[in-house]
Amino acid sequence: MPDRAIRGGMTFTSLQFGIFVAILFGVYYLPPLRRFQVQMLVLASLVFYGSGQPALLPLLLLAVLGTYLCLVLAFDNRAVWMRAGIVFNLALLAFFKYKLLFIDPAAVHPTGVTPLDVLLRLPLPIGISFFVFHNISLLVDLTREKRPPPLRDVFLYIIFFPQLVSGPITRAGQFMPQIAPKRLAEVDFVAAAKWVLTGFFFKLYVANNLNEMTSYMDYPLYETVATPDRWLLVFLYSYQIYADFFGYSAIALGLGLLFGYRLPVNFNLPYISVSFSEFWTRWHISLSTWLRTYLYIPLGGNRKGPVRTCLNLMIVMTLGGLWHGANLSYALWGMLHGLLLVVERPFLTLLGDTGPVVRVARMGVVFFCVTMLWIFFKLPNFDHAVGYISGMFSPTDNPNPTKLFRNMALLYALPVFIQHFGIGALLDGRLRRWEPYLYGALAAMAFLEAGPDAAFIYFQF
């Protein structure tokens, strides 16, 4: 897996990153420097990105400058230059993400053309899937305006460090209007603290501890795991991937607020969804919104009859799967989600508003199916994924299976349950006065009970 984490660089949970944010925050609101706030954030974002992949900074700059050039030219001829900009960005994504489909990475000179070989040898740029989508949003949204925005604003939108490597994918139309001088008095410290502490807790306490257990889902370790525990691990991974990505997104939101920017909420209790279409309005909301706005609707959405709607859903979800990586597992994951969306469509109107028992049953079915499909995420090698699934349905023959502590698994997964089943409502109501103490406890537990450091799962995309 190419450069899963920003190796040697700053991740949200590192001490270096904490110091980096503290210093930046310290100077950001100084009155004499207020008119350089955008430049400061751009510079800081470049430092953040460069700390992990300095060799790929020129590529990031090229992506931004190329997009900006197309944006400016699109004000003269939108039809040509907007499309050229989109093609430019998709070509970047395709080159870095899907090149391994066509070349042998072990070959000394894959093409024999030295400059091309140098490019082919570059690792996957962290966050490329995210900043390319930002670029496309920029080209589509802003070319409808009267004049192009300043280059520094474009830079900030694309490379703003809280959202640079794993989103949320903010639409240009939402972010750009927020670029204005910021004042310390306007910062909502409590909201920022809540997001950051929740994010750290979910990442360090839930995701990193569950990661210790779900590492036994990897090949060939899963062969040592007993059949019931294989089932348990799949559900634990479902909680882990949620806690990991929700945790990252929550920290990003909190950081955005500290610097005066409101990023879109990326998760809304996805595991209580009663339909697959609802799931995609609650899971990775910024990606599904992006796909709907820039792919599903331009394809015709649901306006061209039921057959074409189903086809559009399948196309969008399969491409959404491939967006995560160039292999069969991701494509199949997306395709199966597309199929579930297609299959459920006729039943949605049929079921309508049902009673609580049916709702709980539907919730269970959606959660079960979504969880099973995560196997293709955890094991991108298709053969390994199939091997894992077949092992879930056959008795274990290993006389010394790996021991998993189920009580510990439950305690580490518990926060996801509690969050999904109503802690938010309680905090908004009777328990409101206890809210600061609860967040303090989350902070302490994130520190005391942190699992071994592990890269954010979505860094690889």
Partner 1 sequence: MQHASPLPWLIKCAGAAGVLLLACGLATARFGSALQQPTVTTRDGTVVTLNRYVREPVPDLVLVGSSVAWRLKEEYFSRPGVRNLALAGGSPVTSLDIVAKQKSLPKIVLIESNVLTRLPDVALIEKFSGDKRTEPLFLRPVRTAVAVYETWNHPPPNRAEARAGRDRLLSEPPSNFDNKVYLDRAVQQMNDGDDPSVPAEVNVARIRELIDDIERRGSRAFLLEIPVAPEIEDSRMVRMSNAIIHAAFPDHARWLPIHPPMKELRWADGVHLDERSALLVARAIESALAERGQ
Q: Which of 197, 136, 132, 143 has its CA nearest to residue 167?
A: 132
Distance of CA 391 to the CA centre of its chain: 29
User: If binding is defined by CB under 8 A, does position 84 make contact with partner 1?
Assistant: no
Instruction: Work out the burial of residue 59: count CB atoms within 10 Å of its CB; fewer than 13 is exposed, 13-18 middle, 19 or more buried.
Output: middle
User: If binding is defined by CB under 8 A, does position 436 make contact with partner 1?
Assistant: yes
User: If binding is defined by CB under 8 A, does position 319 make contact with partner 1?
Assistant: no
User: If binding is defined by CB under 8 A, does position 112 make contact with partner 1?
Assistant: no
Instruction: Between 131 and 216, name the residue whose CB sits nearer to partner 1.
Output: 216
Stretch that binds partner 1, among 232-240, 380-388, 436-444, 453-461 (CB under 8 A): 436-444
Instruction: Work out the burial of residue 335: count CB atoms within 10 Å of its CB; fewer than 13 is exposed, 13-18 middle, 19 or more buried.
Output: buried
Minimum distance between the CB of residue 333 and partner 1, rounded to whole angstroms? 27
User: If binding is defined by CB under 8 A, does position 305 make contact with partner 1?
Assistant: no
Instruction: Between 197 and 287, name the residue whose CB sits nearer to partner 1.
Output: 197
User: If binding is defined by CB under 8 A, does position 352 make contact with partner 1?
Assistant: no
Q: Which of 192, 194, 179, 248 has its CA nearest to residue 41?
A: 179
- Catalytic-residue membership of 337: no
Instruction: Between 87 and 441, name the residue whose CB sits nearer to partner 1.
Output: 441
Instruction: Between 87 and 444, name the residue whose CB sits nearer to partner 1.
Output: 444
Q: Do the Cβ atoms of 158 and 64 come closer than 8 Å?
A: yes
User: If binding is defined by CB under 8 A, does position 59 make contact with partner 1?
Assistant: no
Kindly state the DSSP code that residue 148 receives in the 8-state scheme. Answer: P
Interface residue with partner 1, options 347, 417, 421, 437 (CB under 8 A): 437
- CB within 8 Å of 290: residues ≥ 6 apart: 133, 137, 169, 171
Instruction: Between 43 and 408, name the residue whose CB sits nearer to partner 1.
Output: 408
Binding to partner 1 (CB under 8 A): which residues in 152-191?
188-191
Long-range contacts of 28-36 (CB under 8 A, 24+ apart): 28/182, 28/259, 29/182, 29/183, 29/184, 29/187, 34/181, 34/182, 34/183, 35/181
Q: Is the peptide bond before 168 cis (omega within 30 degrees of 0)?
A: yes
Interface residue with partner 1, options 16, 77, 111, 398 (CB under 8 A): 398
Minimum distance between the CB of residue 384 and partner 1, rounded to whole angstroms? 14
- Among residues 109, 134, 284, 324, which one is catalytic? 324
Single-letter amino acid code for the residue at 280: W
Q: Which of 296, 270, 277 has its CA nearest to residue 351?
A: 277
Q: Do the Cβ atoms of 203 and 456 come closer than 8 Å?
A: yes
Distances (CA, A) of 311 to 145, 256, 300, 308: 32, 37, 10, 5
d(CA 200, CA 266): 16
Single-letter amino acid code for the residue at 51: S
Question: What are the backbone angles phi and psi of residue 246, rounded to the nearest 5°?
Answer: -65, -40
User: If binding is defined by CB under 8 A, does position 424 make contact with partner 1?
Assistant: no
Number of residues that bind partner 1 (CB under 8 A): 35
Structure tokens of 355?
């009673």
Structure tokens of 50?
């460069």
Minimum distance between the CB of residue 164 and partner 1, rounded to whole angstroms? 27
Q: Do the Cβ atoms of 240 and 207 come closer than 8 Å?
A: yes
Instruction: Between 3 and 449, name the residue whose CB sits nearer to partner 1.
Output: 449
Interface residue with partner 1, options 31, 220, 355, 429 (CB under 8 A): 220
User: If binding is defined by CB under 8 A, does position 58 make contact with partner 1?
Assistant: no
Neighbours of 318 (CB within 10 A): 20
User: If binding is defined by CB under 8 A, does position 215 make contact with partner 1?
Assistant: yes
Instruction: Between 18 and 305, name the residue whose CB sits nearer to partner 1.
Output: 18
Minimum distance between the CB of residue 206 and partner 1, rounded to whole angstroms? 11
User: If binding is defined by CB under 8 A, does position 55 make contact with partner 1?
Assistant: no
Contact mark string toward partner 1, 29..48, x via CB under 8 A: --------------------
Instruction: Between 28 and 205, name the residue whose CB sits nearer to partner 1.
Output: 205
Interface residue with partner 1, options 111, 417, 447, 453 (CB under 8 A): 447
Stretch that binds partner 1, among 122-130, 227-235, 290-298, 434-442 (CB under 8 A): 434-442
Q: List active site positions.
A: 324
Residues that bind partner 1 (CB under 8 A): 188-191, 193, 197, 212-213, 215, 220, 224, 397-400, 404-405, 407-408, 411-412, 435-441, 443-445, 447-449, 452
